[in-house]
Amino acid sequence: MSSFTIYVVGFIILIAGLAYGAAMLGVPAQWIAVVAIAMSGLGLISAVSQTRKKDETEASQ
């Protein structure tokens, strides 16, 4: 399993836990969905930036 996959799965588990907690507190479902979508986007951006391999370019002579 790649680092990217592990990072994304962990973020999905985090979002699910926070959404469940918000539902238990009585937060309206529409706001839970808005926050979950926003967190998904941030998680994807974060996963890409954390697991991206640096470009290896040859040194110019």
Which tokens in the block code for residue 50?
A: 């954390």
For the full predicted model, state whether its pTM sits above 0.95: no
pLDDT of residue 51: 81
Q: Per-residue pLDDT tens for 30-60? A: 999 999 999 999 999 988 888 877 666 665 5
Number of domains in the chain: 1
Q: Is residue 32 part of a domain?
A: yes
DSSP one-letter string for 1-51 = --HHHHHHHHHHHHHHHHHHHHHHHT--HHHHHHHHHHHHHHHHHHHHHHH
Q: Is residue 16 part of a domain?
A: yes
- Where in the sequence is the domain holding 16, given as residue range(s)? 3-50
Q: Is residue 10 part of a domain?
A: yes
pLDDT of residue 52: 76
Q: Is residue 58 part of a domain?
A: no
Q: Is residue 60 part of a domain?
A: no
Q: Is residue 12 part of a domain?
A: yes
pLDDT of residue 54: 66
* Residue written as token pair 């967190």: 39
